[in-house]
Amino acid sequence: MDSATLFVPAFLSFIGAAMKKYVIKRVVTAAFTLLAITLILFILMQLMPGSPFNDEKLNDAQRASLYAKYGLDQPIIVQFFRYVFNMFRGDLGVSYKISKNTPITQLIASRLPISVGVGFAAVLIGAVAGLLLGLLAAFKRDTVWDTLATIISVIGVSVPSYVFALALSYQFGFKLKWFPMLFSAKDVIGSSVLPSISLSMFTMASIARFTRAEMIEVLGSDYMLLAEAKGLSGKKLIFSHALRNALIPIITVLAPLVVDLMTGSLVVEKIFSIPGVGSLLVNAIQSNDYNVVIALSFIYSAMYIGIMLVVDILYGVIDPRIRVAKKED
Amino acid sequence: MAETAVLTKESYVPTDADFKLKNNVSDNFVDSNFASQSFFKEVVARFKKKKSAVLGLVFVLIITFFAFVGPIMNEYTYSGQDLSKKNLAPRIPVIEYTGLFDGHENISTTSGVKTVNLYFDNKLTDTFFWFGSDNFGRDIWTRTWSGAQVSLIIAVAAAIIDMIIGMSYGLISGYFGGKVDMVMQRILEIANGIPRLVIVTLLLLVFKPGMITIIVALMLTEWVGMSRIARAEMLKLKEQEFVLASRTLGAGSMHIIFSEVLPNIIGPIITQIMFSIPTAIFTEAFLSFVGLGIPVPRCSLGSLISEGFNSFTTHPYQIIPPIVVMALLMLSFNLVADGLREALDPKLKEM
């Protein structure tokens, strides 16, 4: 009794200290990564061919005044610090080509909610469908259902999302006309259906694969046998014993999903003409609007680093083995 | 009292409700006894057992074969244009008499759908485009396969180069440990935090796209995963006796890393290469789609899909061949990689 009362707080404080150290380490790494990204972006911007003001009609004096106006005549080090300062203050510069002299923050502000909305719908559809598919495969193991679920998940993992986007848009948009082929502001929900489904395929497939593997492991474990022997049955067995334990590790598939959603959204948004961040980036690349490309790269990187940070910390909270292993590292 | 107890025990008959069979016969796997074989033979045997992997390998081989032979199978070239023969539907000799691939095409007009055969309308009775022709009168058959060739070359080259870089990085980091490992792992963590696609895109904006620059850009993004695997394997192996023996005999670090440990981790490395090839194909296709792919007149699967997309509602046959080839290629490489992973590491838990 005595040893237990002493041990428990000690254990908690150990976890707390280890956890704190782990979180701090992850945050510092993330900050350095963001700084590295900013440096790379800055260097790349210097390397970009041409100058934003190589208009034939400008004479040297005008050009010099333009350079002075945008601070391009300063030493490179000063430019870098000013650039970093501006980035973190939320000033991403102005667009040179897509819509002249519009602040990029303004361009992004109207587009980000649309992209995030479609992405969120995709994750939701993918997670629910993937979970059901995985459970079906696990419970009907080694039957036709299992094979079917495996085939679907292999296809979903390996076929890129824009193939699905093209197929869906042709079949349900062009032929059957169930949903609009192109995004329209009047029918946001209807025109988000096809893009969300095509983006959700990868999520669905990886969650299905993962759920199946975890579920099979959990179903074969001793504590399931015990729960069954105790006389629990049906819903309770599945929901409070099997599913709960099988779902905890599902967070490990989150990181690759985020990456896929980001890359997938670029092309899928282009295919369905969704006025989101992805199609803005594609347009900027195609029209050589470097400022917008760099700014969006910064946003994408910051989002990516932020999500990775959250996922990593969540791993640590959920699975103590990870932070112990990290500590030994 | 005692007598009744005995009696009840004897008269007890088990019912269905008491227990049920777990039906886990499939788990009670008995290893069949076979003579010791070379590692390679065992791998081949295990690989053959997995039907999906064999199927994948067959598709990879077929596509690779056509990627190199397909473009020279007819008289067209990948860049030869002929505007008098543009937008013709697929037509294949002999098979055309079955009604399939006879060059007919459904065109939707305001007055409804009508079927036309441009080959006969334009008096091109001796012309055959097996997969049809595109908007510039180029043969889609030739372009699909030469695009597949370009995509394959880029993907395989990038995968092999990133294997060399990532593997060396991981092995060195794992072998030396301590401060070296610490510094190298921090660099790796930062590199891993950078979204790859962003960097590839920006690199190609700066250095104009071409086969070499695309390979370099792809290579820069994929080495992290490889180096993780190499390091983990190194950490497992470096404490083993054969490494100690080698060191006692006076072998240098580089010899131990590359001649002693490397041959032992070739399995996971090959698996990782097979997984990174489809990723490279996908990334290349993505780059082509946003206009940063192989410059014209060369084409890759990605650029063909991107071109076909512009007219995919009017002439769907133009986008189907490249998209099917690409989907099949990525699917097959993934299947092969999956099979190889299981064949090379049978202890791995079933996914």
Residues A168/A267, Cβ–Cβ less than 8 Å: no
Region B95-102 average pLDDT: 70
Per CB-CB distance under 8 Å, the chain A contacts of B197 are: 262-263, 266
Identity of residue A166: L
Per CB-CB distance under 8 Å, the chain A contacts of B195 are: 259, 262, 300-301, 304
Instruction: Based on the fold, state whether residues A87 and A133 are members of the same structural domain.
Output: no
For residue range B167-212, what is the model confidence (pLDDT) as tens digits? 899 999 988 888 888 888 888 877 777 777 777 888 888 887 788 8
Judge whether residue A43 has pLDDT over 90: no
Judge whether residue B133 has pLDDT over 80: no
Phi and psi at residue A230, to the nearest 5°: -65, -15
Please state, rounded to an integer, the average pLDDT across all residues of chain B: 80
Question: Which has more confidence, A246 or B329?
Answer: B329
Instruction: Based on the fold, state whether residues A100 and A128 are members of the same structural domain.
Output: no
Judge whether residue B349 has pLDDT over 50: no
Smallest CA–CA distance, residue A309 to chain B, in Å, is: 9
What pLDDT does residue B59 have? Answer: 92
Domain range list for chain B: 48-76+139-348, 89-121
- Host domain of residue A125: 112-275
Region A160-189 average pLDDT: 80
Please state, rounded to an integer, the average pLDDT across all residues of chain A: 78
Q: How far apart are CA B246 and CA B228, in angstroms?
A: 25
Q: Does A89 reside within a domain?
A: yes
Q: How far apart are CA B310 and CA B16, in angstroms?
A: 66
Q: What is the pTM of this model?
A: 0.77
Judge whether residue A138 has pLDDT over 50: yes
Chain B neighbours among A 113-132 (CB < 8 Å)?
none
Q: How confident is the model at residue B57 (pLDDT cuts 50, 70, 90)?
A: very high
**A-B contacts at Cβ under 8 angstroms:** 119
For residue range A259-307, what is the model confidence (pLDDT) as tens digits? 667 777 888 888 888 888 888 888 887 777 777 888 888 888 888 888 8
Q: How confident is the model at residue A12 (pLDDT cuts 50, 70, 90)?
A: low
Instruction: Based on the fold, state whether residues A122 and A219 are members of the same structural domain.
Output: yes
Instruction: Based on the fold, state whether residues A182 and A63 are members of the same structural domain.
Output: no
Q: How far apart are CA A205 and CA A209, in angstroms?
A: 6
Strand pairing report for B104-109 and B112-117: antiparallel
Per CB-CB distance under 8 Å, the chain A contacts of B327 are: 158-160, 163
Q: Give the three-class secondary structure for B104.
A: strand
Which of A233, A257, A275 is where one domain is finished? A275
Instruction: Based on the fold, state whether residues A152 and A266 are members of the same structural domain.
Output: yes
Q: Does A3 reside within a domain?
A: no
Instruction: Based on the fold, state whether residues A264 and A289 are members of the same structural domain.
Output: no
Given B52, B312, B350, which is nearest A213 (Cβ)? B350
CATH topology for B48-76+139-348 is MetI-like fold (1.10.3720)
Q: Tell whether B186 lies on the interface with A, counting CB pairs under 8 A.
A: yes
Per CB-CB distance under 8 Å, the chain A contacts of B193 are: 29-30, 33-34, 36-37, 304-305, 308
Q: How confident is the model at residue A56 (pLDDT cuts 50, 70, 90)?
A: low
Per CB-CB distance under 8 Å, the chain B contacts of A33 are: 189-190, 193-194
Smallest CA–CA distance, residue A209 to chain B, in Å, is: 7
What pLDDT does residue B30 have? Answer: 60
Residue A180 sits in a domain whose CATH number is: 1.10.3720.10
**B330 contacts A217? CB cut-off 8 A:** no
Per CB-CB distance under 8 Å, the chain B contacts of A47 are: 206
End-to-end CA distance of chain A: 35
Q: Tell whether A226 lies on the interface with B, counting CB pairs under 8 A.
A: no
Smallest CA–CA distance, residue B291 to chain A, in Å, is: 6
Instruction: State the alpha helices, DSSP H only, in B104-139.
Output: 118-121
Per CB-CB distance under 8 Å, the chain B contacts of A283 are: none
What pLDDT does residue A321 have? Answer: 58
Instruction: Based on the fold, state whether residues A152 and A58 are members of the same structural domain.
Output: no
Nearest CA in chain B to A134: B351
Nearest CA in chain B to A259: B195
Q: Does A2 reside within a domain?
A: no
Per CB-CB distance under 8 Å, the chain A contacts of B289 are: 162, 267, 270
Instruction: Based on the fold, state whether residues A91 and A126 are members of the same structural domain.
Output: no
Burial class (CB in 10 A: 0-12, 13-18, 19+), B17: exposed
b (16+ CB within 10 A) / e for B179-203: eebeebbeebbbbbbbbbbbbbbbb
pLDDT above 70 as % of chain A: 83
Region A39-66 average pLDDT: 73
Q: Tell whether A18 lies on the interface with B, counting CB pairs under 8 A.
A: no
- Residue of B22, B60, B113, B198 to mutate, testing the A interface (most A Cβ within 10 Å of its Cβ): B198
What pLDDT does residue A5 have? Answer: 55
Q: Tell whether B15 lies on the interface with A, counting CB pairs under 8 A.
A: no
Instruction: Based on the fold, state whether residues A121 and A268 are members of the same structural domain.
Output: yes
For A22-71, what is the HEC assignment? HHHHHHHHHHHHHHHHHHHHHHHHHHCCCCCCCCCCCCHHHHHHHHHHCC
Nearest CA in chain B to A283: B290
What pLDDT does residue A327 have? Answer: 45
Per CB-CB distance under 8 Å, the chain B contacts of A175 are: none
Instruction: Based on the fold, state whether residues A126 and A35 are members of the same structural domain.
Output: no
What are the beta bridge partners of residue B104?
A: B117
**B278 contacts A158? CB cut-off 8 A:** yes
Q: How confident is the model at residue A10 (pLDDT cuts 50, 70, 90)?
A: low
Q: How confident is the model at residue B61 (pLDDT cuts 50, 70, 90)?
A: very high
**A282 contacts B290? CB cut-off 8 A:** yes
Judge whether residue A240 has pLDDT over 80: no
Judge whether residue A223 has pLDDT over 50: yes
Q: Tell whether A263 lies on the interface with B, counting CB pairs under 8 A.
A: yes
Q: Tell whether B258 lies on the interface with A, counting CB pairs under 8 A.
A: no
What pLDDT does residue A299 have? Answer: 83
Instruction: Based on the fold, state whether residues A268 and A138 are members of the same structural domain.
Output: yes
Q: How far apart are CA A71 and CA A321, in angstroms?
A: 51
Which of A245-249, B5-9, B120-124, B205-209 shows the lowest per-residue confidence on average (mean pLDDT)?
Answer: B5-9
Q: Does A300 reside within a domain?
A: yes
Given A47, A263, A290, which is nearest B197 (Cβ)? A263
Judge whether residue B215 has pLDDT over 80: yes
Per CB-CB distance under 8 Å, the chain B contacts of A300 are: 195, 198
Smallest CA–CA distance, residue A288 to chain B, in Å, is: 8
Judge whether residue B60 has pLDDT over 60: yes
Smallest CA–CA distance, residue B75 to chain A, in Å, is: 30
Q: What angle do CA B289, B294, B298 make, to 5 degrees?
A: 115
Given A170, A282, A288, which is nearest B312 (Cβ)? A170
Q: Does A9 reside within a domain?
A: no
Domain count, chain A: 2
Instruction: Based on the fold, state whether residues A270 and A128 are members of the same structural domain.
Output: yes
**B350 contacts A160? CB cut-off 8 A:** no
Q: Give the three-class secondary structure for B112.
A: strand
**A158 contacts B330? CB cut-off 8 A:** yes
**B22 contacts A263? CB cut-off 8 A:** no
Nearest CA in chain A to B20: A229
